[in-house]
Amino acid sequence: MGVDVGGTKVAVGLVDAQGKILTSLRKPTVATGDAAAGLASVTGAIDALFAANPQARETIRGIGICAPGPLDPNTGVVINPPNLKCWRDFPLGDEISRRYRVPVKVDNDANAAALAEYLWGAGRGYKNVFYGAIGTGIGTGIILNGRIHHGRTGAAAEGGHVTIDYHGPVCGCGKRGCIEILAAGPAIARRARAKLSEQPARESALRKLSGGNIEATTSEMVGQADADGDPVAKEILLETIDLLAVWFGNIVDLLEPEVIIIGGGVAAMLSPFFAELRERLAAQCLNSRNQEIPLLHAHYGAESGIAGGAALCNSFG
Amino acid sequence: MGVDVGGTKVAVGLVDAQGKILTSLRKPTVATGDAAAGLASVTGAIDALFAANPQARETIRGIGICAPGPLDPNTGVVINPPNLKCWRDFPLGDEISRRYRVPVKVDNDANAAALAEYLWGAGRGYKNVFYGAIGTGIGTGIILNGRIHHGRTGAAAEGGHVTIDYHGPVCGCGKRGCIEILAAGPAIARRARAKLSEQPARESALRKLSGGNIEATTSEMVGQADADGDPVAKEILLETIDLLAVWFGNIVDLLEPEVIIIGGGVAAMLSPFFAELRERLAAQCLNSRNQEIPLLHAHYGAESGIAGGAALCNSFG
């Protein structure tokens, strides 16, 4: 069973040994009350899944949970997630394990999604995988020799906060010019608004999509406008590709993964430009042979949290 | 036996199982002739070491060689090193192994030095080590679970070419704003020359050391002037510390090593500012607990290549 605990919803699903999501359901998260209320959101979703699939009580190997960080993947303790304030040093893994009498693992969503891609998705056949989920933020997971690279405290693979412009804008994390503040969804929207403001006379599908209200422009509109052939949107996405090439160049020079997998909500609108990304990456990594590194779409989309949670159960007997 | 093949000299030494360098010698490298002439430089140095230590023929476990990259550590083939043009796809490992009838490993200098620090030096007791040698360039080595992280082609851990300012100056590697072009010895000298030119009226020990010829200012003079209490030199070194903090922040956010070890010729002049580096690193990594990561001086100095070469033999029976 994979459980994806987010700030607004809990998604749970049953996943088979080949990574196929057999069934799933979603419930809202109650994150405003105390720790017990937060826990009840999770157990409510799990209970509902068991109620609909009673045989699962006998057949599951365990429960794997993606939870918001920071957390300790070794102990299953959720430390102090900014978007789930109900929990502070909360032993989520132990609580779920005691209640359902099964082994439980807890990890962050990008680590777990990386593991799911490695086991069942775009990363099959590779031992060293770099996974980046580009959406509202940028989450990353690193698989080395078939295992999640957790690092000293369990919080490694925060690749979204790798700085590529130390003079750049300040990110929510406090650092300047992280790839997240430069290239995630909000940065794409910000760049779109700036371009529309600076070039008021330039006609574009993007301007039309925003309904004349530049401030209402979203990254989704940029993706839509590009799909409609809008040159302004294309410019914005190619600028984003340039930044991602610098970022991936850093990661390749440090780690030389065997494959780079791109997921997250923004990945789809970037996909028309993967050839450009590959080409620009070649100029951004020291070893020219590394332009061969496959750059692949994630297999799992919106259900990456469920698949990731289930992937965490892979180490259970 | 550890062998350190550089563009101008070959250093060889005998190292005991505790990492102590028992004896060593140096010979000039003949890098201008053909592949055989380059090989003769290496075998000449090894022969001289054996001649002076005949018992070593019986007692050594193997020969480990640090050679200039790019190279393939799996096959011991040196590909096309810019500063040893005599070799192109040259099977250095096989040649040495056949000649001396012992197991041989070849790796790049920073990887090997990182392994020596892990086994015998400042990294003892840690499993995951990041090693950075700051000198004319910046070389890095990554030890994960007690092994060198080689990556897909064997050329991982090129941390000196991690970009922290993609608008920045172009490095020899072709990328912009790598930490090497911003913070290695030549960058320190460049910054010193700029500061002395911009502030002609400002008195400083650094200006005196350069003998009035600003263009002759070196990074060594900056270190010397700082040791003499010169405020201009201190400013330059603190600016370098700022850049290194951004760089280490990237590495910590991605990898969370258990220890960071700093070696190389420039490390000594930076050492008065390790407390500042530690403090600034705290603001440059996402997980505030990572300010605890020990920041240590390398144990091996100028002999890191010999120790590194010998460390490569550790896996031989």
Closest Cβ opposite residue B163 in set A174, A250, A289: A250
Question: pLDDT (tens digit, 9 = 90+) per residue, B287-308?
Answer: 878 889 999 999 999 999 999 9
B287–A155 CB contact, under 8 Å? yes
Does B13 share its domain with B154?
no
Same domain, A102 and A165: no
Task: Look up residue A173 and give its two tokens.
Answer: 């994390």
**Do the domain assignments include residue A212?**
yes
Highest-pLDDT range among A205-214, A260-269, B195-204: A260-269
Task: Check whether B228 has a pLDDT greater than 80.
Answer: yes
Question: Both A235 and A131 in a single domain?
Answer: yes
Same domain, B52 and B197: no
Task: Check if B170 contacts A (Cβ < 8 Å).
Answer: no
Whether residue A317 has pLDDT greater than 80:
no
* Closest Cβ–Cβ partner in A161, A164, A257 for B253: A161
Burial of B232 (0-12, 13-18, 19+ CB in 10 A): buried
Q: With CB atoms and an 8 Å threshold, state whether A256 touches B290.
A: no
Q: Residue A163: its chain B contacts at CB < 8 A?
A: 164, 246, 249-250, 284
pLDDT value for B168: 97
Q: Within this chain, do residues B273 and B308 fall inside the same structural domain, yes or no?
A: no
pLDDT at A80: 87
- What pLDDT, in 10s, does the model give residues A174-231? 999 999 999 999 999 999 999 999 998 888 899 999 988 999 999 999 999 999 999 9
Range of the domain at B52: 2-114+303-315
pLDDT at B317 over 80: no
Best of A286, A288, A290, A295 to disrupt the B interface (most B CBs within 10 Å) is A286
Mean pLDDT of B36-47: 96
Contacts 24+ apart (CB under 8 A), A190-197: A191/A236, A191/A239, A191/A240, A192/A217, A192/A219, A192/A221, A192/A222, A192/A232, A192/A233, A192/A236, A193/A217, A195/A232, A195/A235, A195/A236, A196/A232
B2 touches chain A (CB under 8 A): no
A contact residues 209-248, partner B, Cβ 8 Å cutoff: 243, 246
With 80 as the cut, is the pLDDT of residue B243 above it? Answer: yes
Question: How many structural domains are present in chain B?
Answer: 2
Segment A39-58 shows an average pLDDT of: 97
A119 domain-assigned: no
Q: Please check whether residue A121 lies inside any domain of the structure.
A: no
Question: What does the pLDDT read at residue A273?
Answer: 97
At B57, the pLDDT band (50, 70, 90 cuts) reads very high
What whole-number distance in Å separates Cα of residue A316 and Cα of residue A15?
14
**Which member of B70, B166, B251 has the closest CB to residue A165?**
B166
- CATH for B7: 3.30.420.40
Model confidence at B278: pLDDT above 90: yes
Q: Is the pLDDT of residue B39 over 80?
A: yes
Asked if B257 has any chain A CB less than 8 Å from its own CB, the reply is: yes
Quickly count: other Cβ atoms within 10 Å of residue B167's Cβ.
12
Cross-chain Cβ contact B158/A287 below 8 Å:
yes
Q: Among residues of chain A, what percentage have pLDDT more than 90?
A: 90
Q: Tell me the pLDDT of chain B averaged across its residues.
A: 95
The alpha carbon of residue B12 and the mean position of all alpha carbons in its chain are separated, in whole angstroms, by 17
What tens digit of pLDDT does each residue of A119-156 get? 999 999 999 999 999 999 999 999 999 999 999 999 99
Which residues from B are below 8 Å from A129, CB to CB? none
User: By CA distance, what is B256's nearest residue in A?
Assistant: A151
The pLDDT score that the predictor gives to residue B37 is 93
Where helices occur in chain B by DSSP H, the ranges are: 35-52, 56-59, 92-100, 109-120, 179-183, 185-198, 205-209, 219-227, 231-255, 267-270, 274-283, 304-312
| pLDDT of B1 | 98
Show residues of chain B in contact with A165, CB under 8 Å: 164-167
For residues A214 and A290, membership in a common domain is answered with yes
Which residues from chain B sit within 8 angstroms of residue A251, using beta carbons? 254
Pairwise CB contact (< 8 Å): B256 & A289: no
Domain shared by A143 and A102, yes or no:
no
- Asked if residue B77 and residue B14 are part of one domain, the reply reads yes
In a domain, A57, yes or no: yes
Checking if the pLDDT of B203 tops 90, the result is: no
Whether chain A has a CB inside 8 Å of the CB on B125: the answer is no
Q: What is the pLDDT of residue B192?
A: 97
Residue B175 at interface with chain A, using a CB cutoff of 8 Å: yes
Looking at the domain assignment, is residue A272 inside a domain? yes
How is chain A classified by DSSP, letter by letter?
-EEEE-SSEEEEEEE-TTS-EEEEEEEE---SS-HHHHHHHHHHHHHHHHHH-TTHHHH---EEEE-PSSEETTTTEE---TT-TT-SSB-HHHHHHHHHTS-EEEE-HHHHHHHHHHHHSTTTT-SSEEEEEESSSEEEEEEETTEE--TTTS----GGG-BSBTTSPBPTTS-BSBHHHHHSHHHHHHHHHHHHHH-TT---HHHHHTTT-GGG--HHHHHHHHHTT-HHHHHHHHHHHHHHHHHHHHHHHHH--SEEEEESTTHHHHGGGHHHHHHHHHHTSSSGGGGGS-EEE-S-STTHHHHHHHHHGGG--
pLDDT of residue B111: 98
pLDDT band at residue A30 using 50, 70 and 90 as cut-offs: confident
In terms of CA atoms, which chain A residue is nearest residue B244?
A166
What is the enclosing helix (H) or strand (E) of B24?
A: strand B21-28
- Give me the residue label for tokens 């789809």: A268
Mean confidence (pLDDT) of chain A: 95
- On the question of pLDDT at A31 being above 80, the answer is no
Q: What is the pLDDT of residue B302?
A: 93
- The answer on pLDDT for B70 being more than 80 is yes
A76-90, A253-267, B169-183: range with lowest mean pLDDT: A76-90
CA–CA separation, B129 and B255 (whole Å): 10
**Which residues in chain A have Cβ-Cβ distances shorter than 8 Å to B165?**
164-167
B260 and B158 within one domain: yes
**For strand A104-107 and strand A77-78, is the pairing parallel, antiparallel, or unpaired?**
unpaired
B249 interfaces chain A, CB cutoff of 8 Å: yes
- Do the Cβ atoms of A253 and B128 come within 8 Å? no
Residue A175 in contact with partner chain B when CB distance is under 8 A: yes
A166/B contact by beta carbon, under 8 A: yes
Q: Same domain for A213 and A227?
A: yes
pLDDT surpassing 80 at residue B164: yes
CA distances from residue A270 to A67, A273, A277, A298, B181 in whole angstroms, order as listed = 27, 6, 9, 13, 31
Q: Which pLDDT value is given to residue B291?
A: 86
What confidence score (pLDDT) does residue A240 get?
A: 98
Question: Looking at the structure, do residues B81 and B220 belong to the same domain, yes or no?
Answer: no
**Chain A residues with CB-CB distance to B161 below 8 A:** 253, 286
Q: Measuring CA to CA, how many Å separate A282 from each of A75, A286, A288, A290, A295?
A: 40, 8, 6, 7, 12
pLDDT at residue A313 greater than cutoff 90: yes
Q: Chain A contact for B165, CB < 8 A?
A: yes
Judgement on whether residues A229 and A307 belong to the same structural domain of the protein: no
Domain membership of residue B120 (yes or no) is no
ipTM of the complex model: 0.95
Per cent of chain B over pLDDT 70 is 100
For residue B283, the model assigns a pLDDT of 92
